[in-house]
Chain A
């Protein structure tokens, strides 16, 4: 059929940008349709601080940061700094099946560390670790959080955190 008559063409772009669903760090806008009420978390990261919200109503330390306390429904929050030094609770090294956006970094260590007096008055965070192998770590090792700069896609400067062995 195609040889007999000229078919109408619907021409599509050759490539489309990296789908936002595959970008793990997109929710960082102070205003507009992607705005988040916890933008201060990201602003503080840009200022070199890993922080979270503490409810002024019931005093509960909350992570992830939220705009309303799930315990007392209070909406008066104070931003507090998460203690810099914590302790490794568990860790592994992702060797297969890393998310596409960080595939180039695999294998990398993924850990859970406890900061402060968890669970009474502390937090238990997940975090990536670089330049260290699974074999070099043990439960109970001291770690620190530090700021990670996310470079690309696009020009916007973005920040996250990671763990490093003390």
Chain B
């Protein structure tokens, strides 16, 4: 397999944007082309677009060719739009990586985009219901906030995690988000403020939840040979895995406070790329809700099962702790435009490795990062590993 690197990264402002879906695509495209000025668009042979529900939010399908037109790209090797709900973005990176690693493509544009704030907000909200099994869980009002509220309730019941510990995740991510000019929310918060914010679905308050967000982000991936021509600061892709158990409906989920598929995915990824949890300097994890980040500490192996609450309380996920988790503010600060989130996580890793972030959220000397994107009711887990150092070899390994 060929080595693959990220050679360019760009992002739009995330938030409630006075911008159309197409505007967001063009903004992210310009941002990534500006980031790598010596790239000739003619060298881009492939395009992968992460987009979760453009059919329902902007009534547009067949979106990848539309992105090609908007950005002036003629695809000659591979094009696709990827959809795995909230992890549609990382899926786009994965297929670009595979296409280049196997030799089909040389240079690929990866773009993730979602326009979620529309004049039909109640339709937008209701559109999240079909991420679960619409017929059997959606019909019971099972959108994301109630599901993750149940996961939080069970984690508190099974392991003694507290609402204050949940709030501490938001406090950390809000602090880093305050130094991220692209984030939807850039204000610091206190534990009290999180606890006092409006109740969405107990035990989760508004500040325990990520937001409905418009935004886009883009990357250029290249083969080793092309990367050498294009940049002095490549970010190497070490590997990536996805684990999805045969579980989409409540009956198949088992215990909600254990994310077994993530535990297995992490073990698989670490073995594939030859690292251990303790080697990770930066973890961009999917904090769609505060409880998610706590369970992820555990299943990614940063602490023992059940001790995620203690891990944040003791500051171990801050920069300078055991592992810097979400130094860009995570989904909680950035917002969560579904198709863009996975790309935004990779963008953060690129900016961190290059040292192009404000010093207050800079992880000095970081060499290894992972990104975790989840989808659905936390049964699907998607992981990638990145490094500043070129991998010795590239194996998919078993």
Contacts and interface: CB of A to CB of B under 8 A. Distances in A.
A83 interface: no
A119 B254 contact: yes
Contacts of B150: 90-92, 110, 112
B28 to A, nearest CB: 27
A27 B133 CA distance: 12
A110 B146 contact: yes
A50 B88 CA distance: 35
B157 interface: yes
Interface in B130-167: 130, 133-143, 145-146, 149-151, 153-154, 157
Interface in A1-51: 19, 21-22, 24-25, 27
B126 interface: yes
Interface in A76-102: 89-102
B16 interface: no
A124 B133 CA distance: 14
A103 B135 CA distance: 18
B141 to A, nearest CB: 5
A63 B141 contact: no
Nearest to B135: A27
Contact of A134 (B142, B202, B251): B202
B78 interface: no
Contact of A64 (B56, B129, B249): B249
Contacts of A95: 198-202
B135 A64 contact: yes
A96 B146 CA distance: 10
A90 B202 contact: no
B140 A110 contact: yes
B357 interface: no
Interface residues of A, number: 37
Nearest to B139: A24
A98 B145 CA distance: 10
A103 B122 contact: yes
Most buried by A among B135, B151, B200: B135
Contacts, number: 106
Nearest to A150: B139
Given A99-B129, A110-B146, A124 B253 contact: yes
A124 B150 CA distance: 13
Nearest to A98: B141
Interface in B222-263: 246, 249-251, 253-254, 256
B49 to A, nearest CB: 23
B125 interface: yes
A124 B135 contact: no
Contact of B129 (A24, A112, A125, A160): A24
A86 to B, nearest CB: 12
Given A99-B141, A110-B142, A94 B201 contact: yes
Contacts of A124: 250-251, 253-254
B138 A22 contact: no
Contacts of B254: 119, 124
A126 B141 CA distance: 9
A96 B250 contact: no
A6 B125 CA distance: 41
B105 to A, nearest CB: 35
B206 interface: yes
B126 A64 contact: no
Q: Which of A92, A95, A96 has the most CB of B within 10 A?
A: A92
A140 B375 CA distance: 28
A126 B126 contact: no
B153 A91 contact: yes
Interface string A120-134: 000111111000001
25 contacts: A21-B56, A21-B127, A63-B136, A63-B249, A91-B153, A92-B146, A92-B153, A92-B204, A93-B202, A94-B141, A94-B201, A95-B198, A95-B199, A96-B200, A97-B125, A97-B143, A98-B125, A98-B141, A99-B126, A100-B126, A110-B140, A125-B250, A126-B137, A127-B140, A160-B139
Chain A to chain B: the 8 pairs with minimum beta-carbon distance, closest first: A92-B149, A90-B150, A24-B139, A92-B201, A100-B122, A63-B251, A99-B126, A126-B250
Given A24-B138, A64-B136, A100-B125, 20 more contacts: A19-B123, A21-B56, A22-B126, A25-B139, A63-B136, A64-B133, A90-B157, A94-B141, A95-B198, A96-B201, A96-B206, A98-B125, A100-B122, A100-B123, A110-B146, A112-B250, A124-B251, A124-B253, A126-B137, A139-B153
